Each structure stands twice: as C-alpha cells, then as structure tokens.
Amino acid sequence: MIIAVDGPTASGKGTVAKALATHYGLPHLDTGLLYRAVGWQCARNGGNPDDPAAAFAATSFTDALLVEDELRSEATGGLASRVSVHPAVRQALFDRQRAFALQAGGAVLDGRDIGTVIAPEATAKLFVTASVEARAERRWKEMQGRGEDHSLATIEDDLRRRDERDRTRAEAPLLPAADAVILDTSALDRAAAISAAIALVEQARR
C-alpha cells in the first residue's frame, strides 16, 4: 500500500502523513526534507539557489545532514523552494523517493508531487490543504514555541510567496492529482484531521 500525501506548507500534511504511517505500520518519508537538504547544502557551498548548476551540485549532500535542526527553519524552507524549481534537482532526488515508495509492504510519502510524479499508482492520494490564514497562524505558533519571533504578517507573506513559486513552476507544480481527495484542515484540530485522513484512506482502499 502506497499512501501519497501532498499539499502546501503548514497544511498539516506532515502530521497527517506521520499519523497514517503509525496507524498502518508503514515507513514514512518527508520528501520536503530532501529539498531542504539541497537548499541548505547549496547555501553552505556559497552557491546561488536560483542557479541550476549550483543547486544540482548540492544534491550530493550526505544523509547525516537530514537530521540537522537547521533544515527545519523558515529560511531553509525558502531555499528549498528555490532549488526545487530546477528539473535536474528533481531528477536527482527522483530515484530515492521512487525506491522508498516501492519498498515491500508499502510506504507513506509526503510532499508536493507524490501523487502526480513520484507514485502515480499510489493506493490512496490525499491533498491536504488549509487557508493561508490558518497555515500562517499554525506556523507562527510553532515558531513561537521554538523562540523564533516573526510577525504573523511576515509569515503569511512568506507562505503566499512560497505557494506561488511551488504552484507556478514548470516542473512538477503543486497541484492535486486528478484522482486525489482533498482534505481541508482549516477548521480541524490535529485529532480531527488524522481521523478524517484515515477515513479517506479506508475509502480509497475499498
């Protein structure tokens, strides 16, 4: 069973994907982390994330990087969004994601193009979304918890910019697969979003 969970930043897709993985006893891959690693490595190399060659060179990051806290920052998320527009970067990360999806027993992957590009044959495809206001508020609370002080307006602007870049890029734009089910979490708390997601996967399996 392959479960594809796509959606924009702070939509709740990571929470939903992790909970589905636990519920079904499947391994989980947060594919955003791979793009974050490339963005972070590119900056560390002194490269420009908008330059395809510099971004591609950073795809040779070492796996040890994937556990670093710095990958989770807003700044790294912005770098990830910039390197992820380059087709060569997406191609370089494709095999790893595809192999994860196809492992025996199945897997849960979350990202932007899992249901459309990485695993179009997925058993269940969820497109998790929420209003930009709801997502900005969640991100703001998360950042407060980490002691990062940013205004709600700055976070909202940043989310809009990232959404726009992810949606309008030529390669693998952020779009629900034709056969994906939409889960809007704007008015749902964590527990309600998770039970709704499980119900949708159960429906898709039937």
Gap between the Cα atoms of 132 and 163, Å rounded: 9
29: which strand partners? 109
Of 80-88, 98-106, 149-157, 195-203, the window that binds ligand C5P (rule: CB under 6 A) is 80-88
User: Which of 26, 113 has the CB closer to ligand C5P?
Assistant: 113
- Answer for which of 29, 37, 80, 132 binds ligand C5P (CB under 6 A) is 80
Return the amino acid letter for 184: D
Distance CA(130)–CA(133), nearest Å, equals 8
Q: H/E element holding 108?
A: strand 107-111
Give me the residues paired with residue 198 across strands.
none
- The verdict on 112 binding ligand C5P (CB under 6 A) reads yes
Q: Of the ranges 43-51, 75-83, 98-106, 135-143, which one interacts with ligand C5P (CB under 6 A)?
A: 75-83
| Contact stretch for ligand C5P (CB under 6 A) within 44-52, 61-69, 79-87, 126-134 | 79-87
Residue 111 touches ligand C5P, criterion: CB under 6 A? yes
Using CB under 6 A, pick the residue from 3, 5, 11, 35 that binds ligand C5P. Answer: 35
Least distance to ligand C5P from the beta carbon of 77, Å?
A: 5
SS3 helix, strand, coil % of the chain, rounded to 5? 60, 10, 30
User: Binding segment for ligand C5P among 74-82, 120-128, 134-142, 151-159 (CB under 6 A)?
Assistant: 74-82
Q: Tell me the site size for ligand C5P, rule CB under 6 A.
A: 14
Q: CA geometry: angle at 91 spanning 105 and 84, to 5°?
A: 105
Biggest CA–CA distance in the chain, Å, is: 50
3: helix, strand or coil: strand
The contact set with ligand C5P (CB under 6 A) reads 9, 31-32, 35-36, 77, 80-81, 84, 111-113, 162, 166
